[in-house]
């Protein structure tokens, strides 16, 4: 069931937070940051930094908001491509598009990220006790009958245990299995994708990891996906080509709220290279059974408008990946951090009225 809760949401842009600073490891962009507060309350961002050849790392940046905007301090890297599943001989590999969630049930920060290695993009997991030093856990395991194993992106964990469709108390995470034709040549495949039913296009799914397995072994248990449910597909309003998870969910009165991304074709005149637009909107899930969607933005909350969002490595992109609740400003105020045209990091303040 969709649209059983109703609220207005507004987004105010706060400006550019991070831009490439001349470091060779950022020459092709600093973008798509995870966010978290460490145990002292310091806000940290974990942007994807890209060196020549599309080789990616997950940075670690301390952020303080001030009268002039944002003060940032680069603190090195949370992850650099080292594991076999993050490396390959040809260019285009590494650690991409992290999302970080603090999970009280195991008293750890959990990072889901895209490991781009010899098999293509896969969801990988790392954990931390302090949000600064990270330890790899491995690749998510979908080797259960009925689950789809293969190219997958946009992993992000829910912070609290929920109930799976089969009634199992679980840790849940977003993921987006990819169409093979999209992974090979996404733009050339657009006519084929547009001929598909919406539910067959790239969609948001929620994977479920039994909580008892995680408590028995917080490391290996975090990789054992036992169920996966389709929760949100493209539709005709916006995000018609594909949609994917954005920020980790946060708790609001109505349930679990997240800011996701959707992709639309906005110019078909060049069939071999049509113009795309990445926008962002809100989804709200039931608090206990998140496979039940209660609300979906009927139109985008954020669309590419500023010059930094409209021109970059990939034009016309707003790609949300980090969210920071701001109870100091109000109970229903959240700062979201997002990639701008695959080159910079921006911030927007979201208010749920």
Report residue 233 as tokens: 């597909």
Q: pLDDT tens digit string along 49-60?
A: 999 999 999 999
- The mean per-residue pLDDT over the stretch 27-49 comes to 98
DSSP track, 45-112: EEEEEEETTTEEEEEEEEEEEETTEEEEEEEEEEE-S-SGGG--SSSSEEEEEEEEEEETTTTEEEEE
pLDDT(182) > 70: no
Report residue 254 as tokens: 């109505």
d(CA 27, CA 129): 31
Structure letter (DSSP) for residue 298:
S
Q: Please report the pLDDT score of residue 268 as a whole number.
A: 64
- For residue 225, name the pLDDT band (cuts at 50, 70, 90): very high
Q: Please report the pLDDT score of residue 283 as a whole number.
A: 97
d(CA 343, CA 345): 7
Q: Please report the pLDDT score of residue 230 as a whole number.
A: 97
Q: pLDDT tens digit string along 130-168?
A: 999 999 999 999 999 889 889 999 999 999 999 999 999
d(CA 59, CA 153): 19
Q: Please report the pLDDT score of residue 302 as a whole number.
A: 98
pLDDT(118) > 70: yes
Q: pTM of the prediction?
A: 0.95
- Domains of the chain, start order: 9-352 (2.115.10.20)
pLDDT(183) > 60: no
Percentage of the residues of the chain whose pLDDT score is greater than 70: 95
Considering all CA atoms of the chain, what is the largest pairwise distance in Å, rounded to the nearest integer? Answer: 56
Spatial neighbors of 22 by CB under 8 A, at least 6 apart, are: none
Spatial neighbors of 326 by CB under 8 A, at least 6 apart, are: 333, 334, 335, 349
Q: Please report the pLDDT score of residue 180 as a whole number.
A: 78
State the DSSP H helix or E strand holding residue 192, giving kind and residue range, or none if neither: helix 190-194
pLDDT(29) > 50: yes
Spatial neighbors of 307 by CB under 8 A, at least 6 apart, are: none
d(CA 23, CA 28): 10
Percentage of the residues of the chain whose pLDDT score is greater than 90: 87
Q: What is the mean pLDDT of the chain?
A: 94
Q: Which residues of 230-252 are buried (b: 16+ CB within 10 A; e: fewer)?
A: ebbbbbeebbbbbbbbbbbbbeb
Q: Please report the pLDDT score of residue 267 as a whole number.
A: 78
pLDDT(300) > 80: yes
Decide which of 192 and 284 is more confident: 284
Q: Please report the pLDDT score of residue 281 as a whole number.
A: 98
Q: CA nearest 308: which of 14, 8, 3?
A: 14
Q: Please report the pLDDT score of residue 89 as a whole number.
A: 92
- The helices-and-strands tally (H runs, E runs) of the chain is 4, 22
Decide which of 182 and 204 is more confident: 204
Report residue 198 as tokens: 């919406």
pLDDT(271) > 80: no
Q: Please report the pLDDT score of residue 68 as a whole number.
A: 78
- For residue 186, name the pLDDT band (cuts at 50, 70, 90): low
Q: Please report the pLDDT score of residue 4 as a whole number.
A: 56
Q: Please report the pLDDT score of residue 1 as a whole number.
A: 46
- The mean per-residue pLDDT over the stretch 244-259 comes to 98
Q: pLDDT tens digit string along 55-102?
A: 999 999 999 988 778 999 999 999 999 999 999 998 899 999 999 999
Q: CA nearest 285: which of 197, 164, 178, 200?
A: 164
pLDDT(341) > 60: yes
């Amino acid at each position: 069931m969709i649209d059983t809760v109703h609220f207005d949401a507004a987004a105010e842009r706060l400006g550019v937070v991070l831009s490439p600073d001349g470091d060779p490891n950022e020459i092709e962009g600093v973008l798509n940051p995870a966010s978290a507060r460490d145990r002292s309350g310091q806000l940290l961002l974990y942007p994807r930094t890209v060196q020549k050849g599309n080789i990616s790392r997950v940075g670690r940046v301390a952020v303080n908001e001030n009268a002039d905007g944002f003060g940032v301090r680069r603190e090195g890297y949370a992850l650099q491509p080292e594991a076999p599943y993050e490396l390959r001989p040809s260019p285009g590999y590494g650690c991409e598009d992290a999302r970080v969630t603090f999970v009280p049930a195991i008293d750890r920060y959990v990072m889901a990220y895209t490991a781009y290695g010899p098999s293509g993009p896969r969801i990988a997991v790392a954990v931390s006790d302090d949000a600064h030093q990270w330890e790899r856990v491995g690749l998510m395991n979908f080797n259960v009958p009925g689950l789809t194993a293969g190219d997958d992106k946009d992993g992000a964990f829910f912070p609290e245990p929920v109930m799976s469709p089969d009634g199992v108390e679980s840790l849940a995470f977003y993921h987006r299995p990819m169409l093979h034709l999209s992974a090979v040549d996404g733009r050339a495949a657009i006519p084929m994708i547009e001929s598909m039913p919406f539910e067959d296009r790239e969609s948001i799914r929620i994977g479920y990891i039994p909580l008892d397995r995680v408590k028995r072994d917080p490391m290996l248990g975090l990789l054992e996906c036992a169920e996966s449910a389709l929760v949100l597909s493209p539709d005709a309003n916006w995000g018609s080509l594909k949609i994917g998870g954005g920020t980790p969910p946060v708790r609001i009165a109505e349930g679990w709220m997240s800011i996701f991304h959707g992709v639309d074709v906005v110019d078909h005149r060049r069939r071999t290279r049509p113009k795309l637009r990445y926008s962002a909107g809100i989804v709200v899930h039931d608090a206990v059974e998140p496979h039940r969607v209660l609300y979906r933005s009927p139109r985008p909350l954020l669309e590419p408008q500023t010059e930094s969002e409209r021109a970059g490595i990939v034009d016309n992109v707003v790609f949300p990946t980090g969210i920071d609740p701001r109870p100091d400003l109000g109970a229903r105020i959240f700062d979201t951090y997002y990639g701008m045209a695959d080159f910079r990091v921006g911030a927007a303040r979201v208010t749920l009225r």
